[in-house]
Structure 1
Amino acid sequence: MTYDQGTIWFIIIGLGLGTFLIRFSFLGIIGDRELPKWFLRHLNFVAVAVMPGLIAPLVVWPAATNGVLDTPRMLAALAAFGFGIWRKSVIAAVLAGFIVLYAALYLFG
């Protein structure tokens, strides 16, 4: 499917304007005001809610295997998850997942 140059620029400008308005609504309008306590409490859960949505597709449908679930990536995800809970360290979890992934890829081929 091909688009003419005017349509491409319309899409680029539209997406840029949409992104600006989303950010401005939070930073520009209420950026210098005190946020309510209940709102700040809910912001603590944003990372916890977003991270599984970013990581799960990479584990369950990895591009490296053309979307086929494989053992090394599942082992690495479980190791990273378990090590992160045990040590309460993001860096330790990433390193554990990295080590298990490459060890499993070496062992399983």
Structure 2
Amino acid sequence: MSFSDGQIWGIIVALGVGTFLMRFSFLGLIGDRPLPPFVLKLLRYTPVAVFPGLVAPLVMSPAATGGTPDPARLAAAVATLAVGVLTRSVLWAILAGAATLYGLLWLLG
């Protein structure tokens, strides 16, 4: 499927307008009014729902190993989760995961 230059620019502009309208509908139209408490409660769970979707493909099918699960990355994910649950600190979880990943990559070669 090939598009002309004008069609590609039309698609880019249409996607830009669509993105603007989606954000404006939330921020521009109701941005100056307080949100209901149940909406604020639900918004607190957004990072918890998004991060696993971003991290899971990097752990289960990393590009560095050609898509094969790697013991170092799996161990780092488990360490990150364990430290995060135990300390309830994002910083300590990230540091534990990074130390585990780089330590195991160094040990395993």
- Scaled by the length of structure 2, the TM-score of the pair is 0.92
Shift of 1:2: 4.4
Q: Which runs of 4+ in 1 moved over 4 A?
A: none
Distance in structure 1 (CA, Å) of the matches to 2:84 and 2:54: 17
1:1-109 equivalences under 5 Å are 2-109=2-109
Give the superposition deviation at 1:91. 1.1
Percentage of matched positions with identical amino acids: 53
Deviations 1:59-104, CA, capped at 9 Å, x for gaps: 1111111211110100011111111111211111111111110111
Unaligned runs of 5+ in 2: none
Query: Partner letter of residue 40 of structure 1?
Result: L
CA drift at 1:3: 3.2
Q: What is the number of equivalent residue pairs in this alignment? A: 109
C-alpha root-mean-square deviation of aligned residues, in Å? 1.2
User: What is the one-letter code of the residue matched to 1:24?
Assistant: F
Unaligned runs of 5+ in 1: none
Distance 2:44 2:34 in 1: 16
What do the CA deviations read for 1:45-67 (whole angstroms, capped 9, x no partner)? 11111111111111111111121
Distance in 1 separating the partners of 2:103 and 2:3: 45
- TM-score of the pair, normalised by structure 1: 0.92
- Partner SS for 1:67: coil
